[in-house]
Structure 1
Amino acid sequence: MDILGHSSYGLLPAVLYFFLLLFLSLSSRNKAVSPLSGILVQAFIFVVLLIHGLQLHDSVFTPQGFVFGFAQDLSLIAWVGLAFYWFQSWFLPISSLRWLVILFALACSLLPNLFPGTLISPKAVSDPWFKGHFIVATIAVGLLSLAAIHAMLMSVQDRALHRQLAIAPNGRIAHWLEDLPPLMTMESLLFNLLYVGFALLSLTVFSGLLFSQTLFGKPLVFDHKTIFALISWFLFAGLLLARWRVGLRGRAAVRWVLSAYTALLLAYVGSRFVLEVILQRV
């Protein structure tokens, strides 16, 4: 019996994310959090990631063919973001970001139940080139999505700190901002995301350009998706080059990240959303 195809299984990741947040809420009331509690949370996140990942794989690569849409794209992005957070949280003090990332994953895991996507290609599932391209592209967009969210958090944190210093140097900022890691740690994590995400984005973009016939069964077409993907690649490349040459950081880096990510979002998620929801076309 294939429970992965059942709609009830489609809701299972969201239910588990909800119970994970409930567990975190109950744990946060106890100020003396034990090391065992932290390990249990990490184990819980891993289990939910595993179930969510299996559900996503079987809902996209179906026996009928490759099924996809903007909802599946967002759910995959959230899954990759949480997986990267889970890995980095073993090495960096970023537990305060846990709530935001899990809430995002919970919301996105519900979307495929509302927007089931469309059958794009009956043959793509059996093509290892296409499957590899799709997986790499998904990881790249997921990491860069997490980088964009991270950049927005850094912007809010930076503005709050400057405002607090100007008004009351010895005062306190909002509680949830106080729980964030220092800006230097946040910046280090941001560029870790960008380095890995950009490397995978480069592989995605140029494999698509060079092997379009093999991957998609048609020659390369410079449509809006390709153009926005290239614009995004050049923007991210310029950002990392500026970081290497002149040490770009702070608000300028955040604005650059958000500009590059906007182009990327228009290329991948935006095109599917317009076709499925606004134009109601495959």
Structure 2
Amino acid sequence: MTKSKIHTLPHQTDQKFVTDAGFETSMLFHKGYDMPHFAFFPMLRSVDGRAAMKEYIAPFMETARQHGAGFILDTNTWRSSPDWLDLLGYDKGDHVEINREAVAFAQELRREFGEGENVVVNGVIGPRGDGYDPSTIMTASDAEDYHAFQVGVFADNGVDMVSALTMTNTPEAIGIARAAGERGLPCAISFTLETDGHLPTGETLGHAIAEVDASCFHKPAYYMINCAHPDHFTGILQQRGEWVNRIQGLRCNASRMSHAELDCCEELDDGNPGELAQQYSEITRFLPRLNVFGGCCGTDHRHVAKICDALHAD
């Protein structure tokens, strides 16, 4: 599919980019949507679900516009890989169409809310297993084979890039990066970290980034951290090293809770938006190439707006 306009990607420019925030937690706790296995994409097949998505995304895109920032518009596909689609009861014949519909809807949102702006349609890939617990780890080769399906649908339908969010281990990240490279798609790898700043496997972030880079002919365009609070990893960034230059994005949790604690929460912990924004501002001192800013669990437009204000004030 031919794209009508070339959009500048985060690794190609110093422009700041905004993402959305904790979409699933917002829909679950603020809007009361039932989301089996934390998957919202089935609601995109309903009028109400599409309206909720538009209502949610519009203020983020307006914030990006007001701050002269680009916007990374994610497809709602974090839970749209084959194993999760099977678990949610979808036939194999529906898998391609579900992912294709998500890309088409993101492109519709870009046309409706992002006219004249640098809005990047980003194909989102989630972990094959649990986003917090790497109880089963594939080989890099198996991960490439598994995730090639979703990457292929994204490539065939004109996304600008792909991002793997909430990665818990390096072999899966390597497989996704390789699959994206085979299809010529720029790829961002976003690792999740525990309260000690390490991956759930116990691996250090610096080692994980170095291992993925060394294992891929087409290296990821950049790396991110998501689904962790700044308190959990700011200390490791201060250790410095070449690997910090590969990190360009942050999508932090509002809560300081561990992943295990978040899994058990019955009420949303939305933290302190102003405090979180100040922490983002301070982290820019340790990450010289940081230019992608958004949120994860517990965050919403309030947090991202405060983050943009804090960065603009610097």
TM-score interval, normalised by the smaller of the two chains: 0.3 to 0.5
Which one has the bigger helix percentage?
1
Structure with bigger gyration radius = 1
**TM-score, normalised by the number of residues in structure 1:** 0.32
**TM-score, normalised by the number of residues in structure 2:** 0.30
Which one has the bigger strand percentage?
2
